[in-house]
A and B are shown apart, each in its own frame.
Chain A
Amino acid sequence: MSIQAPEAGWFRPPSGGERTWMGLALVWCLVMSAMMPFWHFKGQQNSTGESYTVEPVKFIERVERFVASNKVGEDKGIPIVEPAPGGDAYLLGRMWSWYPILKLKQGQTYRLHISSSDLQHGFSLQPVNMNFQVLPGYDHVLTLTPTMKGDYQVICNEFCGIGHHLMTGRIIVE
């Protein structure tokens, strides 16, 4: 009984329905375990966690250099920047905006470096709905290939102070 000591000799192997269910559940757990490495090699969407430590000041310098050499326009004073296809792109999360606006080409692959100059932020690309964590001091590299054209929003989904819900950005895919 659950609240009394079990009868002597309680240590028995599982039998009957219990045994069948344990077998089924174990097989399912193994299938789920196999899915992740399988997708890592065969799937197109993986979070590899590729990242490098970086001083926030140094990261801001890199972002500014990237903006200066690749700027193609402006929207409400925020630069629109178009990286070379296959090249590096930079995105800075800060209280409370994503900087700059990126202009990418459909089907091209970019190395997108994301970091923060202050608190933790959440890179959330909408309405595609892809989400990655952004930490100050870490250059998080996403090797990203936009598969659809359009005008996309980047919002922040990690709480970063009282203006958190104002933190937006933009990625244009042509």
Chain B
Amino acid sequence: MSTVITSPDVIPEAPPRGNHTSGKVRTCATTGLSVCLDAQRFIKLNAVFAVVFLALGGIAALMLGLTRWPAVHLLPADWYYRLLTFHGLNMLIFWILFMEVAILYFAATSLLNSRLASAKVAWVSFGMMAVGAVMVDAVVLMGLGDVMMTSYVPLMAHPLFYLGIILVAVGTLIAVGNFFATIYIAKRDRTYVGSVPLVVFGATAAAIIAVVTLLHGAVVMIPTFTWSLGWTGPPDPAWYRIVWWGLGHQSQQVNVCAMVSVWYLLGHVTTGAKPLNEAVCRSAFVLYILFINLASAHHLLVDPGVSAGWKIWNTSYAMYLAVLASMIHGFTVPASIEVAMRGKGHIRGLFGWLAKAPWKNPGFSAMFLSLVIFGFLGGITGVTLGTQQINILAHNTLRIPGHFHTTVVGGTSLAFMGLAYYVIPLIFRKDFYWKGMARWQPYLFAIGITVMALGMSFAGSYGVPRRHWDVEFSGAAQAAGFGSGAHLMLGIMGVGSVLAFVGLISFVLLAVAAVFFGKPIEGKMPSWGEAPVVAAAKPAVPAGAHDDHKAPGTMALVIILLVSFVVYYFANWKALSDVWHVR
């Protein structure tokens, strides 16, 4: 028997191979990717829990929308504040974090052809997150934690409230550790060649920011927990705000990173798009890692205890490099889709590629609507409201939730819904029922959340506060209230919230029906309809010739974005110049 002796310098040219344990891997019939069965189990578990929290938070959202709609004013005051706390925690923390853990496990295993580093660690992480989240929800519903998601000291909740949040944070941190360990063993076992794919790169950026975020959470929550037990004195409220926003704001940047990664993923899956310039896309993610944490300061722009210099430095010189990163992604994602569509022969005019895009595919429509809502509404309002002086007009008004419902809901949540239309057939291998409903669900949700957020933003421009049960102030020592304009906007907000809720609950129904009762998929997943190739299409431009790729339609879109941005930004400076003088 002869053996082939391989010299060491040949090894680097060996093809990549997986590191899977036999019997713990399958090959996806649709994508050809290998799927680690351990990872698959935890992707499923985390995704199912995520959708449960989404449904809970969504029911609370409907109640809140119907309470702040003055003509309805549904809930009594105590339940309004209770469900507001509940809604914030379930949506902004639990739904998003569980979903992100699922995305991290997917990116590190299937996309790198690797096994999950440790199933045991994944169990520990999942157990802590699930117990913590259920504990927090129970404490809040029992009325022992009416402190809002931010739980600003010296407002105090039951100790189990803080303990639950600590469990969720540490559990997530452990999952992130498992993600890094998986990246490490993939690299060690050479399961892939060259650089990691862009989506993995983006997920890694999200994971790095998550570590910094969750450490802030530990620093702020542990002394608050011990204070609630009576063991230590109260944390300083200004200190609490600075460190808490290191958690509260940065966790939203984890969402942005994850969402942008999902944009790239869905853009590729639905239209075959690929990044025009990998270096540009990756650099933009690096800008997020380096600069996004400073943006936490924009919650403290009208606070005592921090100086004007501190506020300006943190908002502008560093934060705007993170804004730049979002503006770059806002170009590269649609540009890659445009180039892919033109490559398929859709070359008519400036926007022929966009008109022929697979709008009936919920993965595509959710992704593109998410991109538009995030850019035009969330991005522009966020940067403007986060301008140091303009914040005087907006702090704690409804303009703030008006802004973040277009980033984290119209942006991140909608993108994650789009992702679910692929995760369920590919990972759960279950087919959807009611595909017609699935095709219009992203539109309904997008329209609802947009109407709701516009109502909020305009009501906030009249000064209507956020987190407030009664804009009539009935029973207050001194009369206060708002005019008919503000009431009209609150009504529009109410209508939007009902529409958005119908969109959300449709998604939950579709997902639950498919996961638990769907027909198992053998072989390839049924197509949602990808972008067709025109018969007379010119041959695709050969690889390596990306520089010739032109995206004039995208350029037109981003110029419209920039003009809107400039107009909105300076209109706010004008509004500011009309108020009382203050320094």
Docked pose: A46 CA to B569 CA in angstroms: 17
Given known contacts A5-B195, A45-B392, A157-B468, A21 and B331 CB-to-CB distance under 8 angstroms? yes
Question: A131 and B304: CB pair below 8 A?
Answer: no
Query: For chain B residues 251-301, which have a beta carbon within 8 Å of chain A?
Result: 264-265, 267-269, 273-280, 300-301
Docked pose: A25 CA to B325 CA in angstroms: 9
Residues of B close to A128: CB separation below 8 A: 463, 579-580
Docked pose: A142 CA to B327 CA in angstroms: 36
Question: A124 and B397: CB pair below 8 A?
Answer: yes
Residues of B close to A75: CB separation below 8 A: 478
Residues of A close to B165: CB separation below 8 A: none
Shortest Cβ distance from B574 into chain A, in angstroms?
A: 11
Residues of A close to B236: CB separation below 8 A: 137
Docked pose: A159 CA to B401 CA in angstroms: 14
Residues of A close to B466: CB separation below 8 A: 157
Query: For chain A residues 114-151, which have a beta carbon within 8 Å of chain B?
Result: 118-120, 122, 124-140, 142-148
Given known contacts A3-B197, A47-B388, A78-B478, A13 and B469 CB-to-CB distance under 8 angstroms? no
Given known contacts A2-B199, A129-B393, A144-B580, A28 and B473 CB-to-CB distance under 8 angstroms? no
How many pairs, one residue from A and one from B, have CB atoms within 8 Å of each other in the complex?
319
Residue tally, chain A, CB below 8 Å to B: 92
Question: A22 and B393: CB pair below 8 A?
Answer: no
Query: For chain B residues 377-397, which have a beta carbon within 8 Å of chain A?
Result: 383, 387-389, 391-397
Tell me, yes or no, whether A26 is within 8 Å of chain B by CB: yes
Residues of B close to A21: CB separation below 8 A: 327-328, 331, 555, 558
Docked pose: A143 CA to B308 CA in angstroms: 14
Please give me the residue from chain B that is nearest to A13 by CB atom.
B279
Docked pose: A164 CA to B78 CA in angstroms: 11
Question: B197 and A6: CB pair below 8 A?
Answer: yes
Question: A36 and B194: CB pair below 8 A?
Answer: no
Please give me the residue from chain A that is nearest to B77 by CB atom.
A162
Question: A15 and B580: CB pair below 8 A?
Answer: no
Tell me, yes or no, whether B140 is within 8 Å of chain A by CB: no
For B389, give its contact among A18, A39, A145, A153 (CB under 8 Å). Answer: A39
For B475, give its contact among A40, A120, A155, A166 (CB under 8 Å). Answer: A166
Docked pose: A7 CA to B278 CA in angstroms: 9
Tell me, yes or no, whether B332 is within 8 Å of chain A by CB: yes
Residues of B close to A166: CB separation below 8 A: 473, 475-477
For A36, give its contact among B155, B241, B315, B463 (CB under 8 Å). Answer: B315
Shortest Cβ distance from A118 into chain B, in angstroms?
A: 7
Binary contact readout B139-164 vs A (1 if CB under 8 angstroms, 0 otherwise)? 00000001110001111000000000
Question: B152 and A3: CB pair below 8 A?
Answer: no
Question: A36 and B316: CB pair below 8 A?
Answer: yes
Residues of B close to A140: CB separation below 8 A: 303-304
Docked pose: A104 CA to B215 CA in angstroms: 47
For A168, give its contact among B81, B311, B392, B476 (CB under 8 Å). Answer: B476
Which of A3, A10, A28, A170 has the most B CB atoms < 10 Å from its CB?
Answer: A3
Given known contacts A6-B194, A44-B581, A146-B580, A164 and B469 CB-to-CB distance under 8 angstroms? yes
For A138, give its contact among B305, B461, B462 (CB under 8 Å). Answer: B305
Question: B155 and A120: CB pair below 8 A?
Answer: yes
Question: B315 and A165: CB pair below 8 A?
Answer: no
Question: B197 and A29: CB pair below 8 A?
Answer: no
For A29, give its contact among B305, B320, B580 (CB under 8 Å). Answer: B320
Query: For chain B residues 291-347, which have a beta carbon within 8 Å of chain A?
Result: 300-308, 310-312, 315-317, 320-321, 323-324, 327-328, 331-332, 335
Please give me the residue from chain B that is nearest to A109 by CB atom.
B581
Given known contacts A7-B544, A14-B280, A17-B555, A47 and B335 CB-to-CB distance under 8 angstroms? no
Question: B580 and A148: CB pair below 8 A?
Answer: yes
Which of A's residues lie within 8 Å of B, judged by CB?
1-8, 10-18, 20-22, 24-26, 28-30, 32-33, 35-37, 39-40, 43-51, 75-76, 78, 97, 101, 109, 118-120, 122, 124-140, 142-148, 153, 155-162, 164-170
27 A-B residue pairs with Cβ-Cβ distance under 8 Å, sorted by A, are: A1-B275, A5-B193, A6-B194, A18-B335, A22-B324, A22-B328, A37-B312, A40-B388, A43-B577, A45-B577, A46-B582, A47-B308, A47-B389, A119-B154, A122-B465, A124-B396, A127-B462, A127-B482, A132-B392, A135-B237, A153-B478, A153-B479, A158-B396, A162-B146, A165-B468, A168-B477, A170-B478
Known: A6-B197, A22-B324, A144-B582. 14 other contacts (CB 8 A): A5-B193, A5-B196, A8-B194, A15-B277, A26-B324, A44-B581, A49-B310, A78-B477, A120-B155, A124-B463, A128-B463, A131-B393, A157-B396, A165-B471
